A and B are shown apart, each in its own frame.
Chain A
Amino acid sequence: MTRARSTAAAAAVVRSAGGGFLRVRRNLWDRLVVVACYMSVALVLLPLALIIWHLLAHGISGLSIKFFTHMPAPVGEAGGGMANAIVGTLIVVTAGAVIAVPLGIAAGVYLAEFGRNPFAGMVRYTTDLLSGVPSIVVGVAAYGLVVLSMGRFSAIAGGVALGILMLPTVIRSTEEMVRLVPQSYRHAALALGAPRWKVTQQVVLPAARAGIVTASMLAVARAAGETAPLLFTALGNRFWSTKLDQPIATLPVFIYDYARAPYDDWNRQAWTGALVLVLVVTLISGVLRVTARRVRSR
């Protein structure tokens, strides 16, 4: 079909090649298309640049050591920080990573090393579908799964929700990284008489380690910015808590609450929180992506 289409297009090109008026029109159209493409890029980059600009303009004034080390001020009082929310995010994200990363790596290794069958194809497809499930739906599922059975909102419920969100990315990127290990490594190890499991565990995995760690960290960093699945799992907490079975404050939910609040000072802190979140998430993923590219092209 493609060939037929392009042949037809080429024929049209040949037919219209002659004639001065036609040539002018074609050149004009050519310019127009090229300019439109340049303008599209500008249109895409403009709002994104504006977002970064406003984030810096509104957020940077509130950035201080206090923001990281102090607890939120009581309602109505200015000042205070988000120390509990920052620690809370670390705890919830770590809980998610503990669940998702080992499971995801094992599944990814399966797909890369033993994944030449229809079953593995189904796993791949389901993994991709899972990555398209809205995070709010994952939150609802984690609510039913953990919050209802525990009888209260908790950090671990938030961890389960984030874990489910991390899982597909960890699986597919681990698979990609393990596939990059040269086939000759496996051949050499097998030729030396090593059993399959030792080949994978002691030759292939160490060779792919850097890539797998990078890819998993990317998934984890991404999940750190999620708000929706935490709203009714980790809930939120204005006080210091590090307990896994209690509601816990997280940075994204804090930002959401502070942005909606009718106090200017809280709105300012929401901007600062957003700036911190973006800095952490994009810095981590920027560094990791560069590393991942290096691993890939090695």
Chain B
Amino acid sequence: MSLQSRRLPADEIYRGLLLAAATSVFLVVALIVFEAARGAGLSIRTFGFGFLTGTDWDPVADHYGALPYIYGTVVTSAIALILAVPVGIGSAVFLAELAHRRVGSAVSFVMELLAAIPSIVYGIWGFFVLAPFLRGAIEPWLIQHFGFLPLFRGAPFGIGILNAGIILAIMIVPTIISISREVLLATPQSLREASLALGATRAEAIGVTLGAARPGILGSVILALGRALGETMAVTMVIGNTNRITGSILDPGATMASVIANEFTEATGTLYLSALIEIALVLFAVTIVVNAIARVLVYWATGGKREAVA
């Protein structure tokens, strides 16, 4: 603010109150870290780093290793990105470069609304609609034609890693589209005009714009990855919840978020509960790092213009 007024005590008090409210953000983050670290303490002391590499999750023997869940989270998120990124960028290009401005903003409005659909609803759809479809049509076909690959070995359950990956892709694609679209719209118009003036086709002009927008689009993808890593309810409903590491994406599995949702209220022992809270702590750390990178990229690409990212 360029306006300098007299310094009044009332002004200082008012400003102090607002400042205190703003500081609460740090307090909230600190509380999350503190609570997670406190709860996970017992598990960290008992298992050390072995917790992250242990494959054994056995409440009866009271011995816990989180690797199957870390693996499940990584694989489902990877499938989601493989499915969502090309389609998401294609749609963003359509909305920013090809569609009429009105169509562009109408479709983005619908996207914003769809992003507000609660994840439990995606879960129900995945469980009651997508799973039978995968079991009846897609998975038998995959097994028949690609069954020689370890990736598609096993029985068609419908419920499993593939289902979770598809649901995640559907859920994160609006994030990729809306932010990539904004990044594309923020690239200088002169880039397009220059390449078209030189005789470039539309596709070639799009290539030039995409090149300029690359950091921001990468940011949107990483942001979407952050969402996929932490997504809980939809995944819990469709992944089958077993703690094995398998090479096949048709098999059931579990993710870090889904095991917490599934077992937290049933965790009877203190060490059991502590192990689940340690998974939450790991998940928190991973998503914070992923988001920190993504935000920097998006800020950079939009020149700090993007104020609130949904």
Query: Which residues of chain A have a CB within 8 Å of any CB of chain B?
Result: 2, 5-6, 9-10, 13-14, 17, 26-27, 29-30, 32-34, 36-41, 43-45, 47-48, 50-51, 54-55, 58, 103-104, 106-107, 109-111, 113-114, 116, 120, 123, 125-138, 140-141, 143-145, 164, 167-169, 171-173, 175-176, 179, 186-187, 190, 195-197, 200-201, 221-222, 225-228, 231-232, 235, 252, 255-256, 259-260, 267, 270-271, 274, 277-278, 281-282, 285-286, 289
Contacts and interface: CB of A to CB of B under 8 A. Distances in A.
Given A55-B125, A285-B116, 4 more contacts: A33-B203, A137-B230, A196-B5, A228-B119
Interface stretch (B86-94, B145-153, B246-254): B86-94
Interface residues of B, number: 106
B36 to A, nearest CB: 6
* Residue among B261, B276, B290 with the highest chain A CB neighbour number at 10 A: B261
Given A40-B87, A282-B113, A145 B125 contact: no
A269 B45 CA distance: 45
* Residue among B8, B95, B199 with the highest chain A CB neighbour number at 10 A: B199
Contacts of A168: 25
A119 to B, nearest CB: 8
A29 B204 CA distance: 9
* Residue among B87, B94, B206, B308 with the highest chain A CB neighbour number at 10 A: B308
Nearest to B105: A293
* Residue among A26, A44, A128, A190 with the highest chain B CB neighbour number at 10 A: A44
Nearest to A195: B8
B309 interface: yes
B87 A44 contact: yes
A107 B22 contact: yes
A97 to B, nearest CB: 15
B94 to A, nearest CB: 4
Interface stretch (B52-60, B64-72, B74-82, B277-285): B277-285
A232 B90 CA distance: 40
A201 B118 contact: no
28 contacts: A5-B208, A5-B212, A26-B203, A29-B201, A41-B90, A47-B170, A51-B117, A104-B21, A106-B17, A123-B23, A128-B295, A129-B295, A133-B288, A134-B257, A136-B261, A136-B280, A137-B284, A140-B264, A167-B25, A169-B308, A195-B5, A197-B8, A197-B11, A228-B233, A252-B233, A255-B124, A259-B123, A278-B118
B138 interface: no
